[in-house]
Each structure stands twice: as structure tokens, then as C-alpha cells.
Amino acid sequence: MSRGTDAASAVGTGSGSDHVLECRDVTVEFHMDRGTSKVLNGMDIDIERNEIIGIVGESGSGKSMFASALLDAVVEPGVTSGSISYRPSEGDPVDVLDLSTDRLRQLRWEEISMVFQGALSSFNPTLKLRGHFVETLDAHGYDVETGMERTRELLADLYLDPDRVLDSYPHELSGGMKQRALIALSLVLEPEVLVMDEPTAALDLLMQRSIVSLLSDLRDKYDLTMVFITHDLPLVTKLADRIGVLYAFELAEVGRTEEILRSPKHPYTRALLNSTPDIESPLEEMRPIDGSAPDPVDVPSGCPYHERCPLATDDCATVTPEMEAATETHDIACHHWNRVDDEIALTTEVDR
Ligand SMILES: Nc1ncnc2c1ncn2[C@@H]1O[C@H](COP(=O)(O)OP(=O)(O)OP(=O)(O)O)[C@@H](O)[C@H]1O
Ligand code: NI
């Protein structure tokens, strides 16, 4: 069941109305021998121009599917449906899921750019970094000389030595340097939106923190909108203006980062926060969530979280919860969100 198109239901949105992306009922399905696998189910979310939105969830919750859907780049034979309206700062809105092959090729990189999960290994090992930038500029018909000037500036913004990096082969750079070079590469065609899927997963804690603060500077300098996808809730709270929580291929809750941290209203978000291995908090305080993430071929009926939820009632097993607004900027898909404060203690404090 999808909660997508009901006009009365709330849509995950910030307080503003300048949306660079409007996702409605975005769904991804794979038709497989053992049944239809719905790996993203009716995502309704608006992304504000110039915001940094974090999308978090357990492994297998649909984060990468959402990221790929934003560029209509879900792998074959996945089928993406719904609509994703991209509203550039200049020009007419387009539906990303409805573009010709040529227009889509232009949109990717030039308007919505993506750092794919595990992309560190996607560098061509026989090509120096300079070659990667030149090829990208060339393939999109950009002036290479101007583009390489921008490249140098971007590399410097990311605290890299442009000459040294451009003259290196990928294997000559550390993981942190490669990841920053990849971010520079994804920005070289001046996109409006940068989608990053687990961009820091392979890096040590110090490098993760430093990339996160660089991203924040880049957003300000280049007027970017960023979608930051991660399983690392404490990390994304350092960066994001808003956070969306995915559970079982659906949006469970979305709100301003402060709202999600200080006053999470979905029982799952609360469990996630309470289980967060924050380096600042003592080990006894971590509470892993009981049960396991649903199989996309066999998602529980009603609220997909009901089997693991301490607040579940009979309704939860049969009636899919619509998104409800707790505040103008905070939406929750739960029948019992207003019981959460009284019944599930928040034990974790995540520093910002
Ligand atoms: N090519 C595919 N065909 C069918 N199902 C797939 C395919 N790729 C992924 N899936 C399934 O889609 C669901 C969502 O996967 P997705 O990669 O979006 O999760 P994720 O939240 O990004 O997880 P992770 O944190 O591990 O990256 C999972 O159940 C996964 O097994
Ligand atoms: Ni993923």
C-alpha cells in the first residue's frame, strides 16, 4: 500500500516553499521470481533549495534506491514510478522520471549530481585525476580550460593541493583524498543539487568529520542543495538542516534536525536514537533494536514497524499510517506518535 497521493496527507517539507525537488509517491519495484519487491514505497518529500537534508535508515531500508531514483538512475530491471519535479533556479520545472535519454544525460552531473555508494573504486586506475576531470568536462561539451580552473578552485576548497592531485593516479591518493576529489568531480559541472550516498563510509572518524564540515562550507559558497545519505545518524546531525528517517522502504519521520534529535516522535526513530553508538555516550546506553529489517517481498501489512513496535495496537497491523504533522516542519507516519513522549524514554543525547 502506498500513502502517496492522498491530498489531505502531509508531505515531508521544511518551512519554506522554494522546493528544488518535489517527490510524490516515488516507488521502486523489482519484479522477481519470488514476487514483486517494493524497495521504495510511496516516498513523498520536498527538498528545499539550499538545504542539506540527511536521509538515514538501517542497511537495506531503501536509502540507495531513493538516491538513485532522484536521478532516475535505479539499476535495471528496477521500475521507478511516481513523480520527481525538479525546479531549477532558472527555467521551467521538469519531471526527472519523464525525461528523454538526452535530457536525462544532461540533468545528471550538470543539474543533479551524485556521488554513488562505494564510488571510490570507480576511478579508472590507468587515468590520472586530471584525465577524469577533462573527460567529464569534454563529455558534456564544457570548455575544458575554464572547467579546469574551476577544478583547481574546488580541489583547494576541499583542502587538496590541486597540482599534486591532478598529477596523481587514483591509487596514489589516500581514501580521504580520493573521496574529496570525487566530490570535486561531482561539482565540476556546477550542479544545483548534490546527492551523496554514504560518502564517508570507508573513512576514519576524523576524515568523516572533516569532510562533513567541508561540505557545509561548499554548500554556502556554491549555493548547493545537498542530499546526504547515511546509516550514521550522529554524523549527519552535524551537517543536516533536516533529517528524513527511512524504515522498510518508506519515510517514517522527517523534521528539522533539532526536532528529530530532541523530540523524535516515531517509535522507530526513538529506538534508532537510543541505539546510536555515540562515541560520547557510555556503552551500556546502546540498545540495539529488537527484530530485523523487513524483506521487501514481504513487508508487514499496516504500519511496517508494528511487529517491532512497543506501542502497536491492532490497528497498526491493518491500517497504513498517513504522514501527520506534529509541527509545520515535522511529520510522522505513526498512529501513536502523540503517545511516544510518555511511553518511550529518550536515553541518548546526540551532540550537534
Ligand atoms: N538490483 C537489485 N534487485 C533487487 N533488489 C535489490 C537490488 N538492489 C538492492 N535491492 C534490495 O532493495 C532494498 C533496498 O536496498 P538499498 O540498497 O536501497 O538499501 P540501503 O538502505 O541503501 O542499504 P545500505 O545501508 O546497506 O546501503 C534491499 O532489500 C535490497 O536487498
Ligand atoms: Ni545503500
pLDDT tens digits, 41-59: 999 999 999 999 999 999 9
- How does pLDDT run across 117-134, given as a tens digit for each residue? 998 888 999 999 999 999
Ligand 1 pocket residue status of 294, Cβ below 6 Å: no
Q: Kindly report the pTM of this predicted structure.
A: 0.93
Q: Is 126 exposed, middle or buried (0-12, 13-18, 19+ CB in 10 A)?
A: exposed
Q: What is the mean pLDDT of residues 150-179?
A: 97
Mean residue pLDDT of the chain comes to 91
Q: How close is the Cα of 65 to the center of ligand 1, in Å?
A: 7
Q: What is the mean pLDDT of residues 137-164?
A: 98
Pocket-testing residue among 31, 33, 61, ligand 1, by greatest number of atoms within 8 A of Cβ = 61
Element (H, E) at 55: strand 52-56
Q: What is the mean pLDDT of residues 187-198?
A: 98
Q: How close is the Cα of 261 to the center of ligand 2, in Å?
A: 23
In contact, 331 and 12? CB cutoff 8 Å: yes
* Residue of 199, 215, 196 whose CA lies nearest to 158: 215
pLDDT band at 294 (very low <50, low <70, confident <90, very high): confident
Phi and psi at 239, nearest 5°, equal: -120, -40
pLDDT band at 274 (very low <50, low <70, confident <90, very high): confident
Which neighbouring-strand residues pair with 238?
A: none
In contact, 308 and 290? CB cutoff 8 Å: yes
- Window from 198-207, 211-220, 224-233 with minimum mean pLDDT: 198-207
Pocket-testing residue among 32, 65, 232, ligand 1, by greatest number of atoms within 8 A of Cβ = 65
Q: How close is the Cα of 284 to the center of ligand 2, in Å?
A: 28
Which residue owns the Cα nearest ligand 1 atom 19? 60
Residue 92 pLDDT > 50: yes
Residue 296 pLDDT > 70: yes
Which residue owns the Cα nearest ligand 1 atom 24? 59
Ligand 1 pocket residue status of 296, Cβ below 6 Å: yes
Rounded to an integer, what distance in angstroms lies between the CA atom of residue 276 and that of residue 235?
11
Ligand 1 pocket residue status of 30, Cβ below 6 Å: yes
Query: Could you report the predicted ipTM of this complex, rounded to two decimals?
Result: 0.99
299-316 as b/e: b if 16+ CB within 10 A: beebbbbbebbebbeeeb
Residue 4 pLDDT > 50: no
Ligand 1 pocket residue status of 244, Cβ below 6 Å: no
Of 205 and 19, the one with more pLDDT: 19
The pLDDT value given to residue 3: 43
Q: What is the mean pLDDT of residues 26-42?
A: 94
Ligand 1 pocket residue status of 41, Cβ below 6 Å: no
Residue 284 pLDDT > 50: no
Amino acid letter, 253: E
